[in-house]
Structure 1
Amino acid sequence: MPPTSTAEAVRTATMNDVPGVARVLGRAFANDPLPRWLFPDDDTRMARTVRLSAVVAGFGHIPRADASVVETGGVIRGAALWEPPEGGPEDASFLLRALPHLVPLIGLSRIPDLVRYFGELAHSRPEEPHWYLALLGTDPVARGTGVGSRLLRAGLARADADGLPVYLETMNSANLGYYERFDFRVVRVLNDARYPSTYCLLRGSSA
């Protein structure tokens, strides 16, 4: 039975949370278009998605205090990875730390494709200062309990306090209605046969 009434408040993730964050994000996204593109093998995709989530969260967002979690009964059930207006983990120092882990995980031959894909998405980022929601995932057993909405609202409140817009990307069209309920709108759709179809969404500032 899914957890319902014991969800705790949103808190900032610590390095001790990396395994739990990776597990949640791996379970949340293993069957989404991007992991399917990166990891075509059904038998290993879940484990590889968990490992990729650990690299991204553990080397990038969590050390910068740009990750938040919600627990249920002491178990992390949802996680959000954010990038603040002044920049985040997608920089040279992150790549230097992460590359030794990404190459064996993704494969050296796939790295150029991944770089080109994210380079193409960078063209859709707002030029003005903004908060970027890199990942928001909920453990499947906790879906429908409000964990994801709690994480999203906490991040949006922070952006509203700054008077800044929020930008995100999703590769799953089923997520569009959810984000539209929080006043996001699609500003670009990347339809390129080389990459997963990607929807770029923006929520304007409250200022």
Structure 2
Amino acid sequence: MTSTLTRTVRTATMDDLPGVARVLGRAFHNDPLFLWLFPDDMRRMSRTTRANALLAGFSYIPLGYSTLVEAREDADRGPVIRGAALWSPPSGENGGTAAALRSLPHWLELVGPARFPRMMRYFAALAAHTPREPHWHLQVLGADPAVGRSGVGGLLLNAGLERADADGAPVYLETINTANVGYYTRFGFEIVDTLAEPGTPLTHLMLRPPA
């Protein structure tokens, strides 16, 4: 088991992008979304890592609200990124249309022309189900499997929930992994809708009111 001397939650910057992509790639290697997007077992890790680099680098880290857990696990080594959370704020910012358009050729190359239209329909359906009221949107939350269930995800989630509560805003998220529903329920989230589009993963839409 990893021995952690200190763990710090801080805002992610573009300098952190490689570390954030690596940790999210490991966290989501066997996630149902990425199993659907990248069915090839041999290539899924690299493609999941690149997909998270696209999300983080084009759309979320530049906004200035995404966070990471930096752990100092050895007095003789520097800090290691052990988890990350990608957020968009109640203003509805998500990197902007220009950033999304710039990322599309990369997504097309990554998922391939056969799967790309299905991916776009799925994400369009998610966008259509997003609450209209101002809210913080937890886009991605992942912890390095190397640290197990050691509270990294909880540190990131609690930091975001405290910020949302200070704003008096609800927090919204989507999860495909049914096993995550119970986890988020412990933090005050409830399922408010379910997305069941033909040919796409069953997705639970969850909302937490401000405390």
Q: Give the corresponding residue for 2:124.
A: 119
Which of 148, 164, 172 does residue 167 from structure 1 map onto?
172
Q: Which runs of 4+ in 1 moved over 6 A?
A: none
Q: Report the 3-state secondary structure (helix = DSSP H, G, I; strand = E; otherwise coil) of the residue aligned with 1:8.
A: strand
TM-score normalised by structure 1 residue count: 0.94
Distance across 1 between alignment mates of 2:30 and 2:171:
25
Structure 1 segment 38-49 matched on structure 2, within 5 A: 38-49=37-48
Structure 2: 5+ residue stretches without partners: 73-78
RMSD: 1.3
Deviation string, structure 1 residues 109-133 (Cα, Å, up to 9, x no partner): 3222112111112232111100000
Q: Give the corresponding residue for 1:130.
A: 135
Distance across 1 between alignment mates of 2:20 and 2:6:
16
Q: Give the corresponding residue for 1:12.
A: 11
Structure 1 segment 29-178 matched on structure 2, within 5 A: 29-73=28-72, 74-89=79-94, 91-178=96-183
Q: Give the corresponding residue for 1:2.
A: 2
Deviation string, structure 1 residues 84-138 (Cα, Å, up to 9, x no partner): 0112326411212211211111112322211211111223211110000000000
Q: Report the 3-state secondary structure (helix = DSSP H, G, I; strand = E; otherwise coil) of the residue aligned with 1:172.
A: coil
Supply the AA of the counterpart residue of 1:176: V
Q: Report the 3-state secondary structure (helix = DSSP H, G, I; strand = E; otherwise coil) of the residue aligned with 2:129.
A: coil
Distance across 2 between alignment mates of 1:119 and 1:90:
16
Distance across 1 between alignment mates of 2:29 and 2:8:
26
Whether the 8 Å contact between 2:8 and 2:71 is mirrored in structure 1 is no
C-alpha deviation, 1:59, in angstroms? 1.3
Give the count of matched residue pairs: 205
Whether the 8 Å contact between 1:7 and 1:70 is mirrored in structure 2 is no
Q: 1:113 to 1:91 in 2, by over 3 A?
A: farther
Over the matched positions of the two proteins, sequence identity in percent amounts to 55
C-alpha deviation, 1:143, in angstroms? 2.5
Q: Report the 3-state secondary structure (helix = DSSP H, G, I; strand = E; otherwise coil) of the residue aligned with 2:81.
A: strand
Structure 1: 5+ residue stretches without partners: none
Deviation string, structure 1 residues 6-63 (Cα, Å, up to 9, x no partner): 2422100111110110011110011111111111100000100000111110111111
Q: 1:110 to 1:91 in 2, by over 3 A?
A: farther
Distance across 2 between alignment mates of 1:189 and 1:150:
27
Distance across 2 between alignment mates of 1:111 and 1:30:
19
Distance across 1 between alignment mates of 2:104 and 2:195:
26
TM-score normalised by structure 2 residue count: 0.93
Distance across 1 between alignment mates of 2:14 and 2:95:
18
Distance across 2 between alignment mates of 1:2 and 1:197:
34
Q: Report the 3-state secondary structure (helix = DSSP H, G, I; strand = E; otherwise coil) of the residue aligned with 2:15.
A: helix
Whether the 8 Å contact between 1:170 and 1:198 is mirrored in structure 2 is yes
- 2:182 matches 1:183: no
Q: Report the 3-state secondary structure (helix = DSSP H, G, I; strand = E; otherwise coil) of the residue aligned with 2:199.
A: coil
Q: Give the corresponding residue for 2:208.
A: 203
Whether the 8 Å contact between 2:60 and 2:95 is mirrored in structure 1 is no
